[in-house]
Amino acid sequence: MCAEIPAWALDAEAAERNRLTTAWPHRVTREWAWGGSDGTGARVCIVDSGVDGTHPRVGGVDRAVVPVARDDGELAIAEDDAGDVSGHGTACAGIIRSLAPGASLTSARVLGPDITGSAADLLSGLAWAVEQRFDVISMSLSTRKRAIVPDLYQLADRAYFCGSLLVACAHNLQVESFPWRFASVLSVAGHAGSDPFEVHCSATPPVEFYARGVDVEVAWSDGGTITATGNSFATPHLAGICARIRAAHPGLSPFQVKQLLYLTATNVEVAA
């Protein structure tokens, strides 16, 4: 029996109503899109609670950073040796590693032990990730703080126009939150399937894509694992697939990657 799925997620009955058709003259296959890729050459930044690079499901991170306050009170990016302060970021990193084992992983820690964080830390960590022009920026978080929405919007657009794929989860409750609602972001909610490569394109926005997010065994603190449900865990599934696409086709724009995800989605059928 699956756990109760979060808001915006796709249940089995709804999946049958979520069929889409495309008028493209031929289907772009998964094999062409990312089948021969393991993510080697793609750079992924996980904006979360940190990552335990020693966890066997993670296998190391290339770099870990965190916003810290300077003497003048402004935030600066510093090297982070705290690892993961909650387990959440490690869970996401382990999922990405399982789908794109060759990808380079970087951690930007913006959340604390209770998986919450300040608006300033979020903006600072995300701004750094955007400036570094990662191929994929994975954000299994959202904020309801409307005061920072204009700044988040600018960062999301900057990522999009600089070629970085910003992949963000929908809130687990049916509330207004950001940045997943921005059109420049690949927004993700969970589905109850067991195939980690199963992606559905949503026929009913604001969510764009569904990926595996129900009853997922994930890496957690102290080298262990837990079984978890949430849109947080759907996001790194899509981020891992995007890393494989970026590695296979480095010249594709974020818009073109969205097209590939659409054309290879499980529920998209070629029109007769």
CA distance 213 to 236: 9
pTM tops 0.85 = yes
> In this prediction, what percent of the chain has a pLDDT beyond 90?
85
**Which residues are CB-contacts of 92 (< 8 A; sequence separation ≥ 6)?**
46, 48, 51, 138, 140, 218, 232, 233, 235, 236, 239
* List of domains in the chain: 37-252 (3.40.50.200)
The DSSP code sequence of 168-204 is EEPPSSSS--BSTTSTTSEEEEEES-S-TT--EE-SS
The predicted-structure confidence for 39-96, as pLDDT tens digits, reads as follows 999 999 999 999 999 999 999 999 999 999 988 889 999 999 999 999 999 999 999 9
Distance CA 229, CA 13 (A): 18
- pLDDT tens, residue by residue, 128-142: 999 999 999 999 999
